[in-house]
Amino acid sequence: MVAGGNAMQIPCEDIKITFYKSSGPGGQKKNTTLSAVRVLHLPTGIMVVSTAARSQHQNKQLALKELERRLAARRRRRRPRLASRPTPGAVERRVQRKKRRGALKRLRRPPHDE
């Protein structure tokens, strides 16, 4: 059995779904039913909680979609950063900042009597 929609298939053995009583606005129905859903992806330890809807079924679908999104983001490869040199203007600004900072620190020194 597989959980999730058509985008990605998550084996049911890899997830643990728990239901609990939700809190917040929504009336007596929300306060008395186990409508909140917590989905734990066992291999990665990613936990997703959904309490948005008053329906357990809707919260389960929302949580599974969010889990799929997080797993996809985790699998996505980042492009390596291309090494670049600072522009001459950036180098000049950095040197000027360092000079000003050094001058300020020299002013903090105690007077040197010889």
Q: Could you list the pLDDT tens digit for every one of the 114 residues in the chain?
A: 456 555 568 888 999 999 998 777 767 766 678 889 999 999 999 999 998 888 899 999 999 999 999 999 999 998 898 989 999 999 999 999 999 999 999 999 998 776
Domain 2-75 adopts which CATH fold? Double Stranded RNA Binding Domain (3.30.160)
What are the DSSP calls for 73-97, one per residue?
HHHSPPPPPPP-PPPHHHHHHHHHH
Which pTM was predicted? Answer: 0.62
Query: Is the C-alpha dihedral spanning 86, 91, 92, 97 positive or negative?
Result: positive
